[in-house]
Structure 1
Amino acid sequence: MVRIGIDVGGTFTDFVMSDTRTGQLSFFKVPSSPADPSEAIADGTRELLARFGVAPQEVEYFGHGTTVATNMVIERRGVSTGLITTRGFRDVLAIGRQTRPALYDYAVQKPAPLVRRAHRLENEERLDAGGNVLRPLDEAALEEQARALVAAGVQSLAIVFIHAYRNPGHEEQARRVVQRVAPSLHVSISSEVLPEFREFERTSTTVLNAYVAPRMQQYLDRLSARMLEVGVQADPLTFHSNGGLMPTETVKRLPVLTCLSGPAAGVVGSTMIGAATGLSEIITFDVGGTSTDVSLITGQRPSFTSDRLIAGYPVKMPMVDIHVVGAGGGSIARLDDVGALKVGPESAGAVPGPVAFRKGGSQITVTDANIVLGRLHPQRLLDGRMAVDRHAAVQAIESQIARPLGLSVEEAAYGIVRIATASMSRAIRAISNEHGHDAAEFVLFAFGGAGPLHAAEVAKECGMSRVLIPNEPGTMCARGILLSDVSRDFVRTQLAPLDDASWKALGALAQQMQDEGNRWLQSEKVPEPLRRFHLAIDARYRGQTHDIRVPVQSVEPGARAAFEEAFHCCHQAQYGHDHADRPIEVVTCRMQAVGQVPKPDIQRTGSAVSSNRPTGRRDVYFGDGHGWVSTPVLHRDALALDTERVGPLVIEEMSSTTVVPPGTRMRVDLTGNIHLEI
């Protein structure tokens, strides 16, 4: 039997297949199909199984990471959405917060609310801050509003009532009414999507869920149908942003949980491989076709956050903390209005793609520059399955960049790479140096199709001396999916001063949430011995508006002092100071329910007797006083374990290419990972 992990990227769709009998890992890539990602998934699965001689009936596990929901928000391709809320709160979406992230930028524009004001309606219901009913739900008015929204073309509805996080009764009642009189409407309620306080973020997140849900359901239905046509019977699982997998029915109800799901899988895989290699302090560096995604891992634990923006819209969901910049292999290079060279954030994507791919692309990309510089193979990629045209890339760079700037083609191409490197380096400094971490103390864990291509130069610019490149780095996110468990996060707001009474209430709430998680895991047929629960409490000093998440081992009566000490330590670590004499407030209780699944061996060993002989040589442009250098080219499978070499080198494999600049020391460890010493 086999298990398959899939990551859908903007340019390529990556596959990793694990044979549960032999432990063998197989890797594969196909171009993505942006119009309908399920096409590339189905076609790639069919090719993968045929290539490695596996029958579709042998697939017992099928997990995938996707940015379908994220792309719908970015491209504004969701459905017409309505909002029903408590009287007086219809304009919460438009008012937002009084924060000014770009105070002096007069060109900044707030994104328009995803729900038109005419489709934001109010009901007379009202709860107080304790969840007690002040005014009952007006069902008659609600019925009329639901019919009016359907008549106006609304396809999905968000219901967000004030203080519903304390009492979901009115929202659940409203959903039943709407489903009775307007069964065609998809309904999302905030007490199910995000039962936390802070009205703007709760409303925004619930609206986003409603905005993408109908089309996410259609995508998942198409995916399931196409996989059945391939012959795969396993139910698809989808990776969510907090580092776990969810079944299809949960994703259909809560698609907002999948935003940034693919990059999160890469962080999970990096954490596990780093731990197996003995590394605890890692900066992940995932460069794909569209973006560079970076994340900080400390003490062998990824960083998490609950506050992110997607296309300017707040999403308050637990997720792996990933910083994204628009710099990838498909990032477009161009001259701006004053003749300066710019790279990104626009991307050529899979279609039309880079000029050298000959799929209709006419705008120069970072990939074109790397092909011209000899860093990528000038004739073929993906182990020969994809032909490229270096001459077309040379002509495009010469006419669009080099000639207008008075540069040679290689100088122009190297300038494109340098600008992309600078953007990637800024992303790393944003999550490290700007938050009190010295990047030099971390290992750069490079993956993605273009991560190893740029890793050495990015590490040098950031003052980092060590780089780790795993086997088949271009499929790391897909491998991370194979290494992940089924999980779901449950959250409840419990705003109160920390004292004996509130600590006792937290204990009861934690038990209630664990019971809820148990019921969910039972519905997913997870055996009881494989169930795990992780508790965390968000807290703050009295008077603060920001809170800190503190992992909690126990909420027994005698564990309160340990929690207080842990909170002070977390505050000191994050902000550089703590106030042990100030009262603490608890804000939110979080419970993650985990169902453990079998996992493949996270390391793939190579051969200790490989030849280490180059498969050829080609001229590679390194700039910085080196210029064109005749460089040995090796296939990664030819690298012997536990050996060292000194650059320049180009190391090619199916999913990626590693560039080792002159003077950089390269070492292959006993499990096949490549280590660079800058």
Structure 2
Amino acid sequence: MTTQDIRLGADIGGTFTDVALDMRGQIFSTKVLTNYTAPEQAILDGIQIVSKQAGIGFEDLDIIIHGTTLATNALIERRGAKTALVTTEGFRDVIEMRTENRFEQYDLNLTLPAPLIPRQDRFPVGGRMDAHGNELQPLDEERLNALADDIREGGFGAVAIGFIHSYQNAAHEERAREILAAKLPGMPISISAEVSPQMREFERFNTVCANAYVRPQMEDYLIRLQARLKEQGAKCPVFMIHSGGGLISVETAIEFPVRLIESGPAGGAIFAADVAARFGLEKVVSYDMGGTTAKICLIEDFTPQTARSFEVARTYRFSKGSGMPISIPVIEMIEIGAGGGSIAWVDSMGRIQTGPESAGSEPGPACYGNGGLRPAITDADVVLGKIDPNNFAGGAIQLSKEAAMDAIAGEVGAKLSLSPLEAAFGIAEVVDENMANAARVHAVENGKNISDNVMIAFGGAAPLHAARLCEKLGIDRCLIPPGAGVGSAIGFLKAPFGYEALASRLIRLSGFDPDAVNAMLSDLCETAESFVRTGSDGEIRREITGFMRYQGQGWEIPVAIPDRRLTADDIDLIRDRFRENYARFFGRAIDGLDGLEIEIVTWSVKASDLRPRPDQNDLTTRGTIVAPQIHRPVFDPQSDALCDSAIISRGDLTPGQCIQGPAVIVERETSTVVTSSFDALLQHDGTILLIRKEA
């Protein structure tokens, strides 16, 4: 294992690729436009820039940590491999029938998302396990041998295998893979018992299909990235950050690329959690806005909320059930198509809309001058004065305010009889309200009051919108940390080596068998820790969770299980913890029903290496007011007009100095807009605190 004195994080986003280099505590960072044709090129260009800043070469790097949206985009845009699904006879249409949940019950023209794999590419095979893992019908091996010929002749690039109840007994899936692999050498084959060993066949089948669908593309990309890094002289290992926020090897990522789907946003949540820990903030909402999307995540006790599943590519905004379910451990957040590159347009009812379509990096917003003709949120920010066209990305990218005004006037202003400035304000208000609504929905779904939180804003566009978002949400304090423009990439540098192993084993507390449970947990611990050991030989921390419910309920809640050898005496402890958690989620536990069983459905073991605790800082709320000499007109929502606003470089501020809003604090990767409702105070570690003015 390396000393890891020089760590590099690289995050490929839909518009920008962020690179951050940590050289013994000193951070160097940059943003470069994402290269869609060769995504690795943007990483190499970014490494070249930060290495030059630090005075080192590729060969000096000790570790590279990478996160990417490539798997996500392949699923959203349906650009994966032609994939065959081999499934149990009678279950061919599970991924098309879904759960029969009508997520928009009053829409008479409701259209369900198309399945990832069309019906003609789904192949049923005889063989059956029961819900306890006992074989009811032997696997039809003759059919599998014939099927291998069909798959080869059909031009398929990957195979997904999903059999009913394989989470209980994977023997049939493993044998099917063995038969197909013998006749299809080199064909990537994914089995659901390894990709997502959880009950509920729709989610499990869909997850293994998604894994197989993106696997050839991700394998090609990751092998190409490693080769090109070696060509540049890099000798260090490359690790990937997965959706749950831990680091895994490239080899694991190639086998389970579905675990990378939320890798970039996971880095951002880790970044925000680290900031929260530094300042001792127990209730935080992280706000990450980049070029393509915005993400909101609740963080309590310095830990991001997690879940066992999430949805990709929702067809109805905010509507749970309208997307593609992915059943893997993930940092829980809500994500909407509201980034700097999101396109603004006017719908048939004369309302301004933003996203989810994005201008991306090619051609980008109209102000980039690369051929984009439709207005994006960045164009609105330029017209409103939030962004200086001559100092975008530290002056590396020259923007055209005229092009931004023309695009907004043509696509929005002319249709609504608004001036370019009025139309730009309308665009900004719509996107800010969309984000505020997403934050409210996410908080309410988790039983939280969003105004009780401190906001931590990062990403290239978030500091431009954070103060206005706080106004809408009733949040009084917001932190913009150093390096906020590349927050996800910095978060990669702080991520532990970690992995979460899952198994669905339905066990009622009345029939709790400590020996059987201990044996199962021992296997899960061994699996999780083996992934951690690929990159770390330090001390490992484990968290064991049981997902529990009352018998007959359709969903479960997480309950902490003691990390030790369990005995029959622990049954009462587990029952009490379940009742406490149930009351916290739903107001009270269920009492008075004779024979109402409590059962554990799924077991989780999360292993990670221990990371050093961040240095502690006190939050300073009072400072010395300074009056910058430079001003420019910036639109202020409270005044509903352009206001003379102070302009100052973040690097020119010293800790304890306070800038009264309205103002803009500029830096290379982003700018922090301080509306007239807020003042900005620089903390001892360089973090900007936006604090609401006293009435």
TM-score range, shorter chain: over 0.9
User: 1:299, 1:17 → 2: CA distance?
Assistant: 28
Query: Equivalent of 1:365, from 354, 369, 376?
Result: 376
CA contact (8 A) 1:84 1:158 kept: yes
Query: Equivalent of 2:644, from 606, 609, 630?
Result: 630
The structural deviation recorded for 1:448 is 0.8
Query: Equivalent of 1:139, from 135, 138, 141?
Result: 141
CA contact (8 A) 2:542 2:563 kept: no
Q: Is residue 424 from structure 1 mapped to residue 426 from structure 2 by the alignment? A: no
1:243 maps to which residue?
A: 245
Query: Equivalent of 1:218, from 207, 216, 220?
Result: 220
The structural deviation recorded for 1:504 is 4.2
Q: Is residue 541 from structure 1 mapped to residue 550 from structure 2 by the alignment? A: yes
Q: Is residue 530 from structure 1 mapped to residue 539 from structure 2 by the alignment? A: yes
User: 1:58, 1:243 → 2: CA distance?
Assistant: 26
CA contact (8 A) 2:624 2:657 kept: no
Query: Equivalent of 1:231, from 230, 233, 240?
Result: 233
The structural deviation recorded for 1:29 is 1.0
The structural deviation recorded for 1:402 is 2.3
1:632/1:591 Cα in 2 relative to 1: closer, same or farther (>3 Å)? same
1:604/1:561 Cα in 2 relative to 1: closer, same or farther (>3 Å)? closer
CA contact (8 A) 1:290 1:327 kept: yes
2:559 maps to which residue?
A: 550
The structural deviation recorded for 1:235 is 2.2
1:602/1:174 Cα in 2 relative to 1: closer, same or farther (>3 Å)? farther
2:6 maps to which residue?
A: 2
Query: Equivalent of 1:19, from 23, 41, 51?
Result: 23
Moved over 4 A (4+): 596-606, 609-613
CA contact (8 A) 1:25 1:604 kept: no
CA contact (8 A) 1:611 1:638 kept: no
Could you give the per-residue CA deviations for residues 508-547 of structure 1, whole angstroms, max 9, x where no partner exists?
Answer: 211221123344444x1532x4222221111001121110
TM-score in terms of structure 2 length: 0.93
What's the secondary structure of 1:517's corresponding residue? helix
The structural deviation recorded for 1:455 is 0.8
User: 2:415, 2:95 → 1: CA distance?
Assistant: 46
Query: Equivalent of 1:171, from 150, 170, 173?
Result: 173
User: 1:174, 1:535 → 2: CA distance?
Assistant: 32
CA contact (8 A) 1:605 1:671 kept: no
What's the secondary structure of 1:7's corresponding residue? strand
1:419/1:612 Cα in 2 relative to 1: closer, same or farther (>3 Å)? same
CA contact (8 A) 2:627 2:659 kept: no
1:301/1:525 Cα in 2 relative to 1: closer, same or farther (>3 Å)? closer
CA contact (8 A) 2:624 2:656 kept: no
1:271 maps to which residue?
A: 273
What's the secondary structure of 2:110's corresponding residue? coil
User: 2:196, 2:374 → 1: CA distance?
Assistant: 42
User: 1:604, 1:143 → 2: CA distance?
Assistant: 66
User: 1:545, 1:284 → 2: CA distance?
Assistant: 30
CA contact (8 A) 1:65 1:261 kept: yes
User: 2:668, 2:482 → 1: CA distance?
Assistant: 10
CA contact (8 A) 1:487 1:594 kept: yes
Gaps of 5+ in 2: 314-322
2:364 maps to which residue?
A: 353
2:671 maps to which residue?
A: 657
2:320 maps to which residue?
A: none
1:473/1:605 Cα in 2 relative to 1: closer, same or farther (>3 Å)? farther
Q: Is residue 670 from structure 1 mapped to residue 674 from structure 2 by the alignment? A: no
CA contact (8 A) 1:281 1:441 kept: yes
1:471 maps to which residue?
A: 482
CA contact (8 A) 1:482 1:600 kept: no
CA contact (8 A) 1:264 1:322 kept: no
Query: Equivalent of 1:384, from 395, 401, 420?
Result: 395
Query: Equivalent of 1:505, from 516, 525, 528?
Result: 516
1:386/1:132 Cα in 2 relative to 1: closer, same or farther (>3 Å)? same
User: 1:26, 1:44 → 2: CA distance?
Assistant: 11
1:626/1:114 Cα in 2 relative to 1: closer, same or farther (>3 Å)? closer
What's the secondary structure of 1:242's corresponding residue? coil
Amino acid at match of 1:485: P
1:504/1:672 Cα in 2 relative to 1: closer, same or farther (>3 Å)? same
Amino acid at match of 1:207: C
CA contact (8 A) 2:240 2:250 kept: yes
1:648 maps to which residue?
A: 662
CA contact (8 A) 2:87 2:163 kept: yes
The structural deviation recorded for 1:601 is 7.0
User: 1:393, 1:364 → 2: CA distance?
Assistant: 7
The structural deviation recorded for 1:172 is 1.2
User: 2:158, 2:535 → 1: CA distance?
Assistant: 30
Gaps of 5+ in 1: none
User: 1:262, 1:610 → 2: CA distance?
Assistant: 37
What's the secondary structure of 2:52's corresponding residue? helix
Q: Decide which moves more: 637-646 or 590-599.
A: 590-599
CA contact (8 A) 1:330 1:349 kept: yes
Residue identity over aligned pairs, in percent, reads 35
Q: Is residue 316 from structure 1 mapped to residue 327 from structure 2 by the alignment? A: yes
1:551/1:246 Cα in 2 relative to 1: closer, same or farther (>3 Å)? same
CA contact (8 A) 2:633 2:643 kept: yes
Amino acid at match of 1:233: K
CA contact (8 A) 1:3 1:18 kept: yes
Q: Is residue 327 from structure 1 mapped to residue 338 from structure 2 by the alignment? A: yes
Could you give the per-residue CA deviations for residues 574-633 of structure 1, whole angstroms, max 9, x where no partner exists?
Answer: 222222554311101111222346798799999xx9996636221111143351211111
2:255 maps to which residue?
A: 253
2:609 maps to which residue?
A: 595
What's the secondary structure of 1:513's corresponding residue? helix
1:339 maps to which residue?
A: 350
1:171/1:434 Cα in 2 relative to 1: closer, same or farther (>3 Å)? closer
2:198 maps to which residue?
A: 196
1:75-224 equivalences under 5 Å are 75-224=77-226
User: 2:160, 2:378 → 1: CA distance?
Assistant: 42
Could you give the per-residue CA deviations for residues 352-405 of structure 1, whole angstroms, max 9, x where no partner exists?
Answer: 111111111111011111111111113231111111111221222233322332
Amino acid at match of 1:75: E
What's the secondary structure of 2:487's corresponding residue? helix
- Two-structure CA RMSD over aligned residues (Å): 2.3
CA contact (8 A) 1:356 1:390 kept: yes
What's the secondary structure of 1:54's corresponding residue? coil
Could you give the per-residue CA deviations for residues 341-362 of structure 1, whole angstroms, max 9, x where no partner exists?
Answer: 2222211111111111111111
CA contact (8 A) 1:613 1:638 kept: no
Q: Decide which moves more: 575-584 or 66-75.
A: 575-584
TM-score in terms of structure 1 length: 0.95
2:318 maps to which residue?
A: none
What's the secondary structure of 1:445's corresponding residue? strand
User: 1:202, 1:459 → 2: CA distance?
Assistant: 38
1:493 maps to which residue?
A: 504
User: 1:348, 1:107 → 2: CA distance?
Assistant: 29
User: 1:106, 1:223 → 2: CA distance?
Assistant: 47
